[in-house]
Amino acid sequence: MPADVSRRRFLMTSAAAGLGAAGGLMTTASPALGRTPPENEDDDVLTRGIFDSAPATSWEHAFVSGNGDQGVMVFGEPRAETIIYNNHRYVLPNGSAGVEPPKIAGRLEEMRDLCLAGDFAGAENLFNGDWRLLHTQTYHPGHRMRLSMPGQGTVSGYGRVTDFRTGEVRVHWSDETGQWVRRSFVSRADNVVAHHIVAPAGNTMTLTITCDGNLSGRPGNVAYATIATAGDAPNEGYVDVRATYPEHPNSARAFQAVTRVVSDGGTVTVDGTTLRVSDASSVLLLTASDRYFDLAALDGGGLRTRLSGMDETYSQLRDRHVSIHQRIYDRLILDLGGDPADHALPTTELIARQRADPGTLNLALLEQIFDSGRYFLLSSSGYLPPRLTGLWTGGWGAAWSGDFTTDANVNLQVAGMNIGAMPEAAEAYANLVLNQVDDWKVNARNIYGADGLMAPTRTDGENGFMFHFSPWAGQMWTAGANWLLYPLYEHYLVTGDEDFLRRRLLPALIQTATFYEGFLTRTDDDGNVIFVPSMSPENHPANTNRLTTINATMDVAAGKNALQTAIEVCQRLGVQTGPGQGVERWTALLAKIPPYRINDEGALAEWGWPTLQDAYDHRHSSHVYPAWPLHEISPEETPELHAAVQRALDLRGDSNRSAHGFLQRGLGAVRVKDGQYGYEMLKKILTQDFLHRSLMTSHNPGLHIYNADAANAMPAILMEMLVYSKPGVVELLPALPNQLARGSVAGIRCLGRVAVEQLTWDLDRRHVQAKLRSDVTQDITLISRRGIKRVTGRPSTAPSELGDFARVVTLPAGVPVNLRIELPTPGHLLESIATDGKQLPDFDGYVTEYTVQVPVGSPVPDVTAVPVSARVNVSIEPATALPGTTLVHAMVRHEDLERTYAIHFEPVNFTYLSDRAWVSATTGWANVQRDRSIDGNPITLRGPDGPVTYKKGIGTHAVSEIVYDLEGLENGRFQCFVGIDQEQSGTGGSVTFDVYLDNDRVFSSGSMAYASAQKFVDAPIEGRHTLRLVVGDDGNGIGNDHADWADAKITLS
């Protein structure tokens, strides 16, 4: 393969194609990229996918395939492979199917009175009544198949591959007989799972096929049976795995999977429930599955009949599938210039390399995350969109029932489907949402006595009834219908599919607006309607400890957008426009929607009601809804709200470090043009042990809970960094972090029926090139927030009233428009500056003067700098003494770009412990933090007059011990403040703080709780050599024991 073939070259080749009927970019055949080693000299090199050089020993690290209906997880040893089968329809009956919410509308007005009187606890209790919490039916695996074969000699050359462009999982290894290959995929064309096992040339195999339901957590009331039978020929056999559910109303009774086994040569024999293949050169296995509401269907033979009629070879089946899968997958490709050497690493090593260097994202890994996320989304979208686990699970008892969590998670997972040119995923999402609209009507009627729609906070895909009441207060959340319908309206804005809009979406939009007519019946003193009750998903105000609230920002934004969208669509389609009809009524109601509130800290308040206080440390960021995914907030039209959203995100804590929390914040950040914040959210996922070896993600760090939220959402963040759009506006590189200084993308779709067929950028050379194609003739405003020095291309552009960072461009229908934008000279050339390895915390490339305090008697600190790209030359003139100044010179070769940064060193008589290396540090939870709390927030203790925030210090968690060597500091004093960090919002535990100098305890705080005022430590060192900082759990366990050594320093004589 030529050495110069790159991912970027593939991008340029494949981007030169037209728009397909599905509205996506149809690419040409691609050259090999050399991304991973070939399986052997006869195989094509993998262009987009992953490989690993070690088997997976558990299903969590399995490589996966799926067609949006059925899925498989492939893992295990070379000669003993396990395959777990999944089906989107498999949910365990638990009695909740078809259960309608209670009829509590008669309590509504009394409950509202209690809310408005400030009695949120009483209101919530009244509206819960005697209703008990019901859970959705839990998604579960089907069965497992084990493929066992004897081998000869030692296994070598093992590798496993997922080919994202074909959907095929391949495993290969060698022994003394040659190379063995197993291949698997789930067909979109034929809706079967296909496996193919090939012996080395000139050799045959003996294979044992065993199927059962012995998967972890299986309930005792689910009964499995396995039936193995011979086929019509000596080389054919069948395995039938069937299971029955406990009986519940409105629920399925059984599920079944049938596998047809056909050997090439040799024989297939039955041994009890096992099939044995002998003397075969290859074996083809085809599996189909289904579930039934009638037990008689188990013996109907439908699956076996379908499989018996399939006479195609594995290659023929694969080609038919690939012709569909690859056409969809290849519509979009991203190139960030990842190192080919990194791309050649097994995923195990690539993930480890990223975790060993957490400061900067590995571009090869980031590209693979983009590719894998789109693969997971496509492979789990069909019958339904992705669940919390995508389409895959290897055990029963999935967290949160493995369902669709509709108050955040499912929308995050499909965030990239429309702009990512995947209308097939939008169709799967429409199947979930629009098929439940009748149930949403029941929710609105039973709970609020209103016409229209009210969506639930979660669903198993079987029904849309709201029954997730106390303690989650789901019945208070009225934003759901708009929140869930908006991605479908976005689908229309991307595709222009008016048949979909009129026939399928319009009735739901009208019903949603109708709900607010019946719900918004109370008004405040200013005449604005009051959203009461209200709920901001899963968070409560700091001063109420109740989820039931008034005017949650998400609810207000949803009501506003629901009315606006219904008005806009009805006017477009010419319905509900007469006197007294919907448009007139909704317009009047829209004028009464309350404004958003900016709180005293300059942040967009999560609750607009003035008595409710923000609680920042939470995994959800639902109040950014007006900014993402809606388009209500922008720097030009709403500058104060734009800044307030940025402030709200800055104040948001990491809470339990849920992946979906990072991704919701990241999507909100890039929508308000803060690409660096979005980059940091991606770093949290990619550097904190969220990645399985398949690149599927977990819900929390430490690979805790197999979960597809982050895997499916991360591509959307990257796309939104590169292109923002709304009808009439296309913005290039709206939130590009400096770390992604050059790259290419092809195939992003814009709201407004414009395709970005190609976009390349190079910030060092200060140019952007774009190829745009519109479905209709239109004028758009083209924005480049990095400025526009000059635009060249056809047609010519006109100035925009927005300013010199925008142009008006005419796009003819169906004609590609090529533009080249020259960017102004950048304002900075350095990414960061560090002294003695510690980055300047407030570094800004536009600021050239910095002062750094260093202890008296210290040597001159070593200064290093990281340029924004390899084109920037850096030279450093160090200070010769203290006080003194080190100069950092940065310039771009052959261009008139140069800047000098001055680092002034000021001797002081103290040194912060967070700036020094410790000898050892242990903590009872998470990792000890420098200059941050244990959750990564600013260190905040309770002072005499309220919270006190410290820039310096150490955040830890009971039980903890941190040890420092005091060499050179023996004549100083140790000083700090101690206490429970206030990020716990009233839920903090209790701890003790003890300070030891050598073996002498010189300070003991006694018991300190969340409400305890901070205590000051002042201990002379007096010649001792070791400092030990100890946090105890106060004898009641470590729950919520977030402890801080604030402003911890050694003051020198």
pLDDT of residue 826: 62
Tokens (6 digits) for 721: 């960094």
CATH of residue 844:
2.60.40
Q: Give CA–CA dist 613/840, Å, rounded.
A: 33
165 belongs to a structural domain: yes
CATH of residue 1010:
2.60.120.1060
Q: Give CA–CA dist 656/686, Å, rounded.
A: 17
pLDDT (tens digit, 9 = 90+) per residue, 62-108?
999 999 999 999 999 999 999 999 999 999 999 999 999 999 999 99
473 belongs to a structural domain: yes
> Per-residue pLDDT for 443 more than 60?
yes
Q: Which residue has the tokens 């000051």?
A: 1016
Strands (E), 826-972: 830-835, 838-839, 849-855, 863-867, 872-877, 884-892, 897-908, 910-912, 920-922, 929-930, 939-943, 946-950, 953-957, 960-965
> Per-residue pLDDT for 20 more than 50?
no
pLDDT of residue 986: 64
- To the nearest 10 degrees (0 to 180), the angle between helices 675-687 and 363-379 is 80
| Count of helix runs (H) and strand runs (E) in the chain | 20, 55
Shared domain for 596 and 575, answered yes or no, is yes
Cβ-contact 71, 64 below 8 angstroms:
yes
Predicted confidence band at 4 (pLDDT cuts at 50, 70, 90)?
A: very low
pLDDT (tens digit, 9 = 90+) per residue, 118-156?
999 999 999 998 887 889 999 999 999 999 998 778 999
Q: Give CA–CA dist 502/489, Å, rounded.
A: 11
**DSSP string spanning 610-665?**
TTPPP----S--GGGTTTTTS----TTT-HHHHHHHHHHHHH---TT--HHHHHHH
Could you tell me whether strands 138-139 and 803-811 are parallel, antiparallel, or unpaired per DSSP bridges?
unpaired
The alpha carbon of residue 657 and the mean position of all alpha carbons in its chain are separated, in whole angstroms, by 12
DSSP code of 813?
B
β-bridge mates for residue 278, sequence order: 267
CATH of residue 542:
1.50.10.10
Q: Give the mean model confidence (pLDDT) for residues 569-595.
A: 97
pLDDT (tens digit, 9 = 90+) per residue, 175-194?
999 999 999 999 999 999 99
Cβ-contact 543, 613 below 8 angstroms:
yes
Percent of the chain with pLDDT over 90: 82
Question: E strand or H helix at 287, and its extent?
Answer: strand 282-292
896 by DSSP, 3-state: which? coil
Which of 269, 188, 272 has the alpha carbon at shortest distance from 227?
Answer: 272
Residue 217's contacts (CB-CB under 8 Å, 6 or more residues apart) are 395, 396, 397
991 by DSSP, 3-state: which? strand
pLDDT of residue 827: 60
- To the nearest 10 degrees (0 to 180), the angle between helices 659-671 and 675-687 is 160
From 295, 326, 357, give the residue that closes a domain. 326
Shared domain for 151 and 280, answered yes or no, is yes
**DSSP string spanning 824-867?**
PPPS--EEEEEETTEE-TT--TT--EEEEEEETTPPPPPEEEEE
pLDDT of residue 297: 94
**DSSP string spanning 710-737?**
HHHHHHHHHHHHHEEEETTEEEESTT--
DSSP code of 558?
H
- Domain span including residue 836: 830-908
pLDDT of residue 897: 66
pLDDT (tens digit, 9 = 90+) per residue, 323-339?
999 999 999 999 999 99
Shared domain for 526 and 601, answered yes or no, is yes
Q: Give the mean model confidence (pLDDT) for residues 592-606.
A: 97
pLDDT (tens digit, 9 = 90+) per residue, 978-994?
999 998 766 668 999 99
Cβ-contact 518, 450 below 8 angstroms:
yes
Residue 644: count other Cβ atoms within 10 Å of its Cβ.
24
Shared domain for 453 and 535, answered yes or no, is yes
Shared domain for 941 and 1000, answered yes or no, is yes
Q: Give CA–CA dist 238/228, Å, rounded.
A: 6
Shared domain for 886 and 925, answered yes or no, is no
Give CA separation, 901 vs 116, 737, 871, in Å: 56, 21, 18
From 282, 305, 326, give the residue that closes a domain. 326
351 belongs to a structural domain: no
Shared domain for 883 and 928, answered yes or no, is no
Q: Between vectors from CA 660 to CA 655 and to CA 665, what angle results, nearest 5°?
A: 75
Structural domain count of the chain: 4
Q: Give CA–CA dist 1041/1032, Å, rounded.
A: 9
Residue 16: count other Cβ atoms within 10 Å of its Cβ.
13
Predicted confidence band at 916 (pLDDT cuts at 50, 70, 90)?
A: confident
Shared domain for 954 and 1042, answered yes or no, is yes
Shared domain for 536 and 594, answered yes or no, is yes
pLDDT (tens digit, 9 = 90+) per residue, 841-899?
778 887 888 988 888 878 999 999 998 776 688 999 999 999 999 999 998 654 456 78
Shared domain for 923 and 895, answered yes or no, is no
Cβ-contact 385, 379 below 8 angstroms:
no
Q: Give CA–CA dist 442/103, Å, rounded.
A: 10
Cβ-contact 925, 981 below 8 angstroms:
no
CATH of residue 212:
2.70.98.50
Q: Give CA–CA dist 689/698, Å, rounded.
A: 8
> Per-residue pLDDT for 16 more than 90?
no
Shared domain for 987 and 847, answered yes or no, is no
547 belongs to a structural domain: yes
Cβ-contact 583, 577 below 8 angstroms:
yes
Shared domain for 933 and 892, answered yes or no, is no
pLDDT of residue 553: 98
Residue 581's contacts (CB-CB under 8 Å, 6 or more residues apart) are none
Predicted confidence band at 231 (pLDDT cuts at 50, 70, 90)?
A: very high
β-bridge mates for residue 918, sequence order: none
659 belongs to a structural domain: no
From 291, 326, 361, give the residue that closes a domain. 326
Lowest mean pLDDT among 15-19, 249-253, 540-544: 15-19
pLDDT of residue 25: 25
Which of 479, 422, 441 has the alpha carbon at shortest distance from 100?
Answer: 441
472 belongs to a structural domain: yes
**DSSP string spanning 124-142?**
HHHHHTTPPP-PPPEE---
363 belongs to a structural domain: no
pLDDT of residue 5: 29
Predicted confidence band at 941 (pLDDT cuts at 50, 70, 90)?
A: very high
Q: Tell me which amino acid residue 508 is.
A: A
Give CA separation, 529 vs 473, 546, 591, in Å: 21, 22, 9
> Per-residue pLDDT for 451 more than 60?
yes
pLDDT of residue 77: 94
Predicted confidence band at 462 (pLDDT cuts at 50, 70, 90)?
A: very high
> Per-residue pLDDT for 923 more than 90?
yes
371 belongs to a structural domain: no
Tokens (6 digits) for 1053: 């004589």
